[in-house]
Amino acid sequence: MRATPLNTQHSSLNIEFQVDLNLVQVIAIYALPVILAITLHEAAHGYVAMRFGDMTAYAAGRVTLNPIKHIDPIGTIALPLALLALGKLFGGGGMLFGWAKPVPVNFANLRHPKRDMLWVAAAGPMSNLAMALLWAIVAKLSISMPQSAFALPLALMGAAGVLVNLIFMVLNLLPLPPLDGGRILTSLLPHRMAYAFSRVEPYGFIILLVLLFTGVLGFVLWPLVSVALWIFERGFGVPFVELISLARAR
């Protein structure tokens, strides 16, 4: 897939980028940020659970930075690639969606199950926030050396890393079991309300799919992600939205 080169210049940075990306190049830009976002998110859950007394994830070999241990062939690879290809085929960006293998956690093994559940659940989104900050630094450094051959690829990958991790963080903080936000809310609610709320969990994934395909999930998610991107742009002085728009097959 070829396209006419696109030139863009961010006025505050005085940097000119020439972009001519095909679908394979877009996948290459997003591959590393997605793999790291998934791997560290899941490993963070297992590590914090281990620190609070549950060795289930450690025994299953999930407290590791090896992405193979966390990747689900369907949810991590096949479905996102299919959605990306369909989006480019029929036009529009759409929303990528997928999942990793859930880290096994036995909350009953935690020293203080209800309280410690909050920290185990929050570990995943907080790891994504940390990675978003690191990718923002990568983008900031790359645009500070515009004459380098690595400036544009690193800037695009840095912006992709910010976007991917902010989406992961915001999505997982939604208060719907079994998402991390649902578990955090379960931890904070009084016991009787927490028990009633936790009974939604067996239906949580189905509810999430319904929200996705009806467009409700995007309606809720994108404004929150946009606000987070705006904060990152102001904080780092990097045009993340513009860079993200460039990192698309044309």
Encode pLDDT of 26-36 as tens digits.
888 888 998 89
Phi, psi of 103 (to 5 degrees): -75, 130
DSSP bridge pairs for 9: 16
Cα distance between residue 84 and residue 26, in whole Å: 10
pTM of the model: 0.87
Question: pLDDT: is 163 or 26 the higher one?
Answer: 163
Predicted pLDDT of residue 2: 42
Confidence of residue 169 (pLDDT cuts 50, 70, 90): very high
Looking only at the bridges linking them, the beta strands covering 15-19 and 6-10 are antiparallel
Mean pLDDT rounded to a whole number for the chain: 85
Query: Looking at the annotation, which residues are catalytic?
Result: 42
**Contact partners, residue 31, CB within 8 Å, separation at least 6:** none
Predicted pLDDT of residue 105: 92
Is the Cβ–Cβ distance between 57 and 63 less than 8 Å?
yes
Tens of pLDDT, residue by residue over 118-149, are 999 999 999 999 999 999 999 999 988 877 78
Instruction: Locate 92 and state its tokens.
Output: 């529009």
User: For residue 189, how many C-alpha atoms fall within 13 Å in the half-sphere facing its CB?
Assistant: 15
Is the Cβ–Cβ distance between 200 and 177 less than 8 Å?
yes
**Contact partners, residue 34, CB within 8 Å, separation at least 6:** 76, 80, 164
- Give the CA dihedral 193, 194, 196, 200, nearest 10 degrees: 140
